[in-house]
Chains A and B, each alone.
Chain A
């Protein structure tokens, strides 16, 4: 198992435990069963020795997740994972075949498209119903399974593709990342439904992570890891701590809502800020206009985060303790991210 993947699996386990203890009125039995199954799947994705097995685990998770009770039909929910598996498989065939160099580029297209479809990013957003429970919604893919899948696919691509095709793979990740940053940031700001806004905020975060994975310098990978940390141990717990029922949502503008908004926007001293600094440094090393584009894209987090921070309402009791713990952890990692990076050998 890659140290990076092992660390993300651990983060996912911590996030699940956190949600189990602190989330308000969470359906704990279903969370334990389905979250546990999802966690077992992520462990399998990280631990299996070959890419074919990763793809088979992904297919199994896709079928099981589509089969659980939800408002969308089985067919609709199976489409994205099945598409991910099919394009991964076609990419694998092309990567393993001898032939002209353009084949490797098509293989890279397959890997990037499979990654986007597997996580649920543009242009393959998973079907989303704001009334679905968290365990059934695409948030399970984007925040729990996606991080491990991305690290495994990026690591496997290094073995499957030549250096030239690897460059194409990275460039496509950056392009797709920028698309998700802009789309997710604008949609999180402007969409009417607050739960949909949360979903788009995950998409925007993932855009940054993809840019980090696409940068061929170590700062890019470090930034991507910290973005994933902030997805799994900042955005996901706060999303789950916020009232899920639309009627229970009240917009508050207390100091805690502003602090949460700052954490979600990736401002200092939270972990998202360190991630953004590393990404900007990596992008500037590689091609400075890319750093400029990323910096402009990062401004899109502000309006959406203010809205999402207000939607948390006023946390009370266990929920307040949970939010305080998440904020403290993110401040600690933001101020001193080295242990997280060293654990992943970055």
Chain B
């Protein structure tokens, strides 16, 4: 039950990141998604690995709160396609994770697929560096979470590396493009 709840929290947070354009909205979404992913990893891999992910996500959230477009900007005008994307991605991932695939770890599969799919979509369809870097950070955390989906117990390195990537993504200095 806790696993299913954590997977839902991960989807909810990632959906917030897709639906928000302001730094507060992005930071809240990133915080919720990080909590969901860390809880999912904590159930399988262990508390230290989950803690590493949570730490990396927290550093990303702290940075996001200070940089990016101001305010919440939750569901600005024209957000209907994004809302549909969030619901559709959630339903598709739910079907694949709980119905098409079998075996333990369905919640982890659901959480990883929704975060990977939605952060990939956010990276493809956004132009704002703050949103892009938040999506990149969450994508890194989700990639590490997949390490726990295998049969063998994973090493801590993917979690540590993902935490570093997520924390570092917020600090990347993005320059504007030069017109020719």
Residue numbers of A with Cβ under 8 A of B are 48-50, 52-53, 55-57, 59-60, 63-64, 67-76, 78-79, 82-83, 85-87, 89-90, 92-94, 96-100, 103, 129, 131
Within the assembled complex, what's the spacing in Å between the Cα atoms of A63 and B165? Answer: 10
| Structural contact, A103 and B100, CB atoms closer than 8 A | yes
| Structural contact, A78 and B123, CB atoms closer than 8 A | yes
B117-158 interface (Cβ within 8 A of A): 117, 119-120, 123-124, 126-129, 132-133, 135-136, 139-140, 142-144, 146-147, 149-150, 154-155, 157-158
Q: Known: A50-B157, A82-B124. Is A71-B177 also a contact (CB below 8 A)?
A: yes
Closest CB-CB distance, A27 to chain B, in whole Å?
A: 15
| Structural contact, A52 and B174, CB atoms closer than 8 A | no
| Structural contact, A93 and B112, CB atoms closer than 8 A | yes
Neighbour of A70 across the interface among B100, B117, B157, B178, CB < 8 A: B178
Neighbour of A89 across the interface among B143, B155, B177, CB < 8 A: B143
Closest CB-CB distance, B122 to chain A, in whole Å?
A: 9
Closest CB-CB distance, A30 to chain B, in whole Å?
A: 14
The count of residues in chain B whose C-beta lies closer than 8 Å to any C-beta of chain A is 49
Within the assembled complex, what's the spacing in Å between the Cα atoms of A129 and B68? Answer: 28
Within the assembled complex, what's the spacing in Å between the Cα atoms of A227 and B8? Answer: 47
Residues of B within 8 A of A71 (CB): 177-180
Neighbour of A73 across the interface among B117, B127, B180, CB < 8 A: B127
| Structural contact, B140 and A67, CB atoms closer than 8 A | no
Residue numbers of B with Cβ under 8 A of A are 100-103, 105, 109, 112-113, 116-117, 119-120, 123-124, 126-129, 132-133, 135-136, 139-140, 142-144, 146-147, 149-150, 154-155, 157-158, 161-162, 165, 168-169, 172-180
Within the assembled complex, what's the spacing in Å between the Cα atoms of A98 and B177? Answer: 45
| Structural contact, A89 and B157, CB atoms closer than 8 A | no
Within the assembled complex, what's the spacing in Å between the Cα atoms of A219 and B139? Answer: 38
Within the assembled complex, what's the spacing in Å between the Cα atoms of A129 and B178? Answer: 12
| Structural contact, A85 and B139, CB atoms closer than 8 A | yes
Kindly report which residue of chain B lies nearest to residue A64, judged by CB atoms: B172
Q: Known: A67-B172, A73-B176, A86-B119. Is A50-B112 also a contact (CB below 8 A)?
A: no
Residues of A within 8 A of B155 (CB): 49-50
Within the assembled complex, what's the spacing in Å between the Cα atoms of A99 and B139? Answer: 25
Within the assembled complex, what's the spacing in Å between the Cα atoms of A70 and B180? Answer: 10
Q: Known: A52-B146, A60-B165, A67-B172. Is A79-B112 also a contact (CB below 8 A)?
A: no
Residues of B within 8 A of A99 (CB): 100-103
Neighbour of A92 across the interface among B139, B140, B146, B180, CB < 8 A: B146
